[in-house]
Copies of this chain bind each other. A is one copy, B any other.
Amino acid sequence: MPSDSADDPRLGDVSEGTVLRAILARTPRAAAAIIGPGDDAAVIAAASGTVVATTDTLVHGPDFRLAWSSGYDLGWKSAAVNLADIAAMGARPTALLVALAVPRDMRVSFVEQLADGLRAACEALAPGCAVVGGDLTVSDVLTVAVTALGDLEGRDAVTRGGARVGDVVAVAGELGHAARGLAVLFGKFRDQGTPIAVVTSQLAAGERSALDAQLRPAPPIGLGVMASVAGATAMMDISDGLALDARRLAAASDVTLDLVRSALGEDALLALAGGEDHALLATFPPGVLPPGFRIIGSVRERVDEGVLCDGEPVDVSGWDPYRDWDSTTG
């Protein structure tokens, strides 16, 4: 990051147009964009006659800390969490719209890095998808609201409501990895004055990979389409932890999911409670399992509890790591 302020003005000292041009210069054209950024609205191809749409916001404090996340990290994560919602419908992401609210005293380079992170996440996780529009405003609280659009390519959407008794329960992607990364941040970097890039070099490899999963999650976006093609009966992404999100899928489908503890990895509790991995949770008819998914349980007739683990109730609540966050103490 440039340290010379003359080369890197604060947002409050330049026009909105200057900042938007700097961002657009870093924004590739979306493959599906018929009209890209720069007009009143973008026009995106939706050849199959429907469009999938979702929105998810990251707010400084409740959702991230600038002491821990770079602009690049923030751009990456804000793309990834939205791409996962599109994938969870069995759709291919086509375009992002990004509404940025940024404090006046932030550097233009921070916003450029954020644009780079958005671009890199799209290129890595959903090739062809890119930013097609946005909005920039000032705010005392850094806020990134992303809307993602996707194309079902003629398939029906895979909702949360289609799981059937006898289906297998499967996941693609990590469970509890991002939560482990957050524990590393809270444990080793709380009130840390040293730049995080310097200190991460002292972490063990496993800790570093968990940190990456927290700051730059890489959910298996392409497997959403694969799951749909293979015949997934229900699907969602796991943002608030397996236990809570599986309960939501079970409720929508009016079934109970019986998970197998030994299939949840070394730390089953972390896998059940830890959020923010954005792994895909899906149910498939018996005998069907596309590459990339692993079986973690089975679908039973509905009982009182929506989720069981080895036949027993699961005593894990949802994911809200910043619940006690206070803006006055940071």
Interface residues, chain A, with chain B CB atoms under 8 Å away:
34-35, 38-47, 49-57, 59, 61-63, 84-86, 88-89, 91, 95, 97-99, 101, 132-135, 137-141, 143, 145, 147-150, 152, 157, 159-161, 235-237, 252, 327
Contacts and interface: CB of A to CB of B under 8 A. Distances in A.
B35 A159 contact: yes
Contacts of A51: 43-44, 46, 51, 149
A101 B142 CA distance: 11
Contacts of A138: 59, 62
Contacts of A157: 34-35, 39, 41, 43
Contacts of A34: 50, 157
A40 B160 contact: yes
Nearest to A157: B43
Given A46-B49, A54-B133, A41 B91 contact: yes
A209 B232 CA distance: 55
B39 A159 contact: yes
A49 B57 contact: no
Contacts of A137: 57, 59, 62-63
Copies of this protein in the assembly total: 2
A222 B59 CA distance: 35
The secondary-structure label for the interface of chain A is strand
B141 A56 contact: no
B140 A327 contact: yes
B89 A39 contact: yes
Contacts of A86: 40-41
A319 B139 CA distance: 18
Nearest to A146: B99
B88 A41 contact: yes
A138 B141 CA distance: 11
Contacts of A85: 40-41
Contacts of A95: 53
Nearest to A91: B41
B89 A41 contact: yes
Contact of A41 (B53, B99, B133, B139): B53
Contacts of A252: 38-39
17 contacts: A35-B157, A40-B89, A40-B235, A41-B52, A41-B85, A41-B89, A41-B148, A43-B89, A43-B157, A55-B134, A57-B137, A59-B101, A61-B139, A62-B137, A99-B145, A141-B143, A145-B145
Nearest to A45: B50
Contacts of A91: 41
A82 to B, nearest CB: 9
Contacts of A101: 57, 59, 141, 143, 145
Given A40-B54, A43-B52, A143 B133 contact: no
Given A55-B99, A62-B139, A101-B141, 18 more contacts: A35-B159, A40-B54, A41-B85, A43-B50, A43-B51, A43-B52, A44-B53, A46-B49, A49-B49, A53-B95, A53-B132, A54-B97, A55-B134, A55-B135, A59-B137, A135-B145, A140-B327, A143-B145
A63 B46 CA distance: 33
Contacts of A55: 97-99, 133-135, 145, 147
